[in-house]
Amino acid sequence: MKAFVVTGPRRFSVWDVEPPVPGPGQVVVDVERAGVCGTDMEFFSGEMAYLSEDHARYPIRLGHEWCGRVSSVGEGVEDGWIGTRVTGDTMLGCGRCRRCLGGLQHVCEDRFEIGIRGGWPGALAEQLPVPVTALHALPDAVDAVAGAMVEPGGNALRAVEAAALAPDDRLLVLGPGTIGLLAARFALASGAEVHIMGLSEPSLEFARGLGVHGAWTSDRLPRLPFDAVIDASNAPGLPALAVDLVEPGKRVVYIGIAPRSSAVDTRVLVLKDVTAVGILSASPGLAGAIEKYASGSVDPRPLVAAVVGLEEVGAVLAGSRPAGCGPGPKIHVDPRA
C-alpha cells in the first residue's frame, strides 16, 4: 500500500509499504479521510518536541485525525466490526498503569500516539492498524469529512466543557485555527456569546461567517467582561494575556502549545481567583463530538478547505495552500486519490 513518510526535517516521500496485518485485539481500517494538523507540520519542520525527547524518530508516518472502514480483524475481535465506519482515539495507553486503570490512558507515560509517538504508524496511508478498544463507530449522519474532524472536535469540545460556560456567558477564543473555530462552534451551540481574537483579517472574516458575535485583532479587542478565555493559539505571549482578560472568579483553558516556554504570573491567577485548565487529547471528548456532529448541532465541514492526495501532502506541510481551496483552515487527505 502507499503511505506518506517524513524521512527527516523537510524531507518526505510516498513509499510502497507492506499493508498492516491486525494483531490480537486489533483491526485494520481502510482510511477514507485524514486531516493534516499543526503537529504534523512540526514533525515536518523538525521542531516537534517528541523528536528531541526520543518519543519519536524519523522516518515517521504521520496522521492522527482520520476516519475509514474496518476491513479486517485480528484474534479476539468480533467479525461484526468488518465493514463498520469508524474513527478512533489517538492515545493508546498501556492499559496496566494507574493512569490507564483510572481512565486517563491519554496521559499514560508509556502510551503510543497514532502517527505521533512510539512509532505507531499514522493515517496518511491507505490502511491503518488500530486497537479495537480505541474505535468509535460513526453513524450514517457523520460523513467522511466530518468523521475526520472528530479528533480535533473532541479536543475543542473538551476545551469548551472545561470553560464551564452557562447559557449567555461570554467566551473569548484566542486563535482562529481549526481548534479555536471548532471550540467557537461548540460554544455557540451551547448558547454562549462567542468572540475570537486573531491576526489576519481573512481568518477573522471567515470566523464571522461561522456566526461568532465578534472577531477582533488584538488592537481592536473591546474590553468586555469575558466569563472564560480559551487559548487555542501557539503564541507564547497569549497565555498571560488570557489571565489578564478573563473575569475574576472565572476560567482560562489552555489547549494551544507554544514553541517555547510561555510565562503566566501565578500571582494574577491567585488575586483574580482564576481557575486555569490544561487540555491534552481528544480522548474523553470523542463520543461527544460524534454525537453533536450527528445531531447537526455542530457542523465541522465548513472548516475543510480542500481534499488532496498523498502526493500533495508535502507541499501542504511546507505551508502551501492547494489551488482553488476554500477559506477554511483544515486540509484533508484522501489516501486513495
Q: What is the pTM of this model?
A: 0.96
User: What is the per-residue pLDDT across 47-65, written as a single tens digit (0 to 9) for each?
Assistant: 999 999 999 999 999 999 9
- What residue type is assigned to position 227 of the chain? D
Average pLDDT over residues 116-134: 98
Task: Please state, in angstroms and rounded to a whole number, the distance separating the CA atoms of residues 55 and 71.
Answer: 30
**Residues facing 171 on adjacent strands:** 194, 228
Tell me whether residue 288 is in a domain: no
| Residues whose CB falls within 8 Å of the CB of residue 82, separated by 6 or more in sequence, listed in order | 70, 71, 72, 73
φ/ψ of residue 216, rounded to 5 = -135, 150
Q: What is the per-residue DSSP string for 73-141?
A: E-TTS-GGGTT-EEEE-SEE--SSSHHHHTT-GGG-TT-EETTTBTT---SSBSEEEEEGGGEEE--TT
Average pLDDT of the chain, as a whole number = 97
Quick check: bond before 59 cis, omega within 30?
A: yes
Co-location of 221 and 82 in the same domain: no
Same domain for 175 and 57?
no
**Domain assignment of residue 292, yes or no:** no
Q: How confident is the model at residue 260 (pLDDT cuts 50, 70, 90)?
A: confident
Query: Is residue 329 over pLDDT 90?
Result: yes
pLDDT at residue 25, as a whole number: 98
Q: Is residue 236 domain-shared with residue 100, that is, in the same domain? A: no
pLDDT in tens, 152-192: 999 999 999 999 999 999 999 999 999 999 999 999 999 99
Q: What is the CATH number of the domain that holds 141?
A: 3.90.180.10
Question: Quick count: other Cβ atoms within 10 Å of Cβ 191?
Answer: 11
| Co-location of 106 and 221 in the same domain | no
Q: What is the mean pLDDT of residues 99-111?
A: 96
Confidence band (pLDDT; 50, 70, 90) for 87? very high
> Average of pLDDT values for 115-135?
98
Question: Is 289 within the bounds of a domain?
Answer: no
Q: Are residues 316 and 193 in the same domain?
A: no
Domain span at residue 16 reads 2-149+300-333
What is the mean pLDDT of the segment spanning 297-308?
A: 98
What was the pLDDT predicted at 295? 98
Closest CA to 162 of 274, 279, 298: 279
Give pLDDT, residue 259.
85
198 and 143 in a common domain:
no
Q: Is residue 194 part of a domain?
A: yes
Task: Work out the percent of the chain whose per-residue pLDDT is above 90.
Answer: 99
Residue 197 and residue 124 share a domain? no
My answer on whether 214 and 320 are in the same domain is: no
pLDDT above 90 (res 302)? yes
pLDDT value at 211 more than 90? yes
Q: Is residue 8 part of a domain?
A: yes
Query: In this structure, is residue 53 part of a structural domain?
Result: yes
Residues 6+ apart with CB under 8 A from 126: 1, 2, 3, 19, 30, 31, 335, 336
* One domain for residues 144 and 186: no
Average pLDDT of the segment spanning 98-119: 97
Nearest to 230 by CA among 293, 177, 298: 177
Query: Do 143 and 175 belong together in one domain?
Result: no
Residue 34 confidence (pLDDT)? 98
Same domain, 143 and 201: no
The confidence score (pLDDT) of residue 19 equals 97
Question: From CA 258, how far away is CA 246, in angstroms rounded?
Answer: 20
Length of the chain as a residue count: 337
- Report the number of distinct structural domains present in the chain: 2
Cβ 14 vs Cβ 311: under 8 Å: yes
Name the DSSP class of 41: H
**Does residue 162 lie in a domain region?**
yes
| Residue pointed to by grid coordinates 524521512 | 7
What is the rounded average pLDDT of the residues 228-235?
97
Q: Which whole-number Å values give the CA distances from 90 to 21, 105, 335, in the listed order?
A: 19, 11, 18
Same domain, 137 and 22: yes
